[in-house]
Amino acid sequence: MQQNLKKYLVLGVLFILPITAYIFFSLSTNYFKPLPVLTENVSELSGFTTLENKPVQLENRITILGFFGKDLEEHRAYAYNLAHKIYGKNRAFKEFQFVILLPEGTEEQARNIDKKLQEIAPTDSWLFAFGSEDRIKEVFHSLQSNFTLDSNISTPYVFIIDKERSLRGRDDDEKDGGRMYGFDSSNIAEINNKMSDDVKVLLAEYRRALKKYSSNREI
């Protein structure tokens, strides 16, 4: 009797365990928490042009947006941090781009930094974009973040903007009352951990959407 009971228990475990594992992994695959939207309708980048005198846009792009101001040399180390930890690993994603807004007159500084960045990775998706100080302030204020620009029209914080021109970030962070609007590019740990994770989440979100769209078209 006892031997039969053990036999049934073993058979039960062997039967139930695979089903439980399947349900667990099925739920984890289908449940996906997207990166929270913190601000909608971030201002489009009309009026800005790149070093090649080409227009730049946020719409239909996944953008890391930065404001490095009049003294780009001051932010040189921040640019290198971002290039090493974020840009180099994600630049192959088709719609991914870095856009650093700078006031007109800083083009030569940008060329010098661009040459250095090319030693880390090709800068085809890293854009320095130039416009008036007023337009830079307009774009920055449209983020509705809890940060400010300094007297040089700059900040070390960079921002994740999705294809619909919405600012993405965290609404459950342990600092700043739970909301994390941007990432401090002077802080290697924050870039390497929090920002890197959040960029991965957003790119995965679009990959899943593309995969679902492709599957639906095949049906």
CB 109 within 8 A of CB 72: yes
Enter the tokens of residue 98.
Answer: 């870095």
Please compute the mean of the pLDDT values over residues 89-98 and round it to a whole number.
Answer: 94
90 phi, psi to nearest 5 deg? -120, -5
8 phi, psi to nearest 5 deg? -70, -35
Residue 35: DSSP 8-state: P
Compute the distance between CA of residue 145 and CA of residue 68 in angstroms, rounded to an integer.
Answer: 16
pLDDT (tens digit per residue) in 133-166: 999 999 999 999 999 999 999 999 999 999 999 9
CB 68 within 8 A of CB 102: yes
Give the chain's domains with CATH numbers.
37-218 (3.40.30.10)
pLDDT at residue 96 is higher than 90: yes
Please compute the mean of the pLDDT values over residues 80-84 and round it to a whole number.
Answer: 95
Q: Taking the model in full, what pTM does it have?
A: 0.82
Position 24 scores a pLDDT of 40
Instruction: For residue 102, name the pLDDT band (cuts at 50, 70, 90).
Output: very high
Phi-psi domain of 50 (left: phi exceeds 0; alpha: psi -120 through 50; beta: other): beta
Which residue, among 113, 140, 109, 138, has the nearest Cα to 126 in the 3D structure? 113
Compute the distance between CA of residue 87 and CA of residue 196 in angstroms, rounded to an integer.
Answer: 10
Which residue, among 128, 133, 77, has the nearest Cα to 107 in the 3D structure? 128
Compute the distance between CA of residue 160 and CA of residue 63 in angstroms, rounded to an integer.
Answer: 6
Which residue, among 48, 59, 49, 142, has the nearest Cα to 95 in the 3D structure? 59
Compute the distance between CA of residue 87 and CA of residue 64 in angstroms, rounded to an integer.
Answer: 9
What's the chain's Rg over C-alpha atoms? 23
105 phi, psi to nearest 5 deg? 105, -5
Q: Over the chain, what is the mean pLDDT?
A: 86
pLDDT (tens digit per residue) in 167-216: 999 998 876 568 999 999 999 999 999 999 999 999 999 888 666 545 44
Phi-psi domain of 176 (left: phi exceeds 0; alpha: psi -120 through 50; beta: other): left
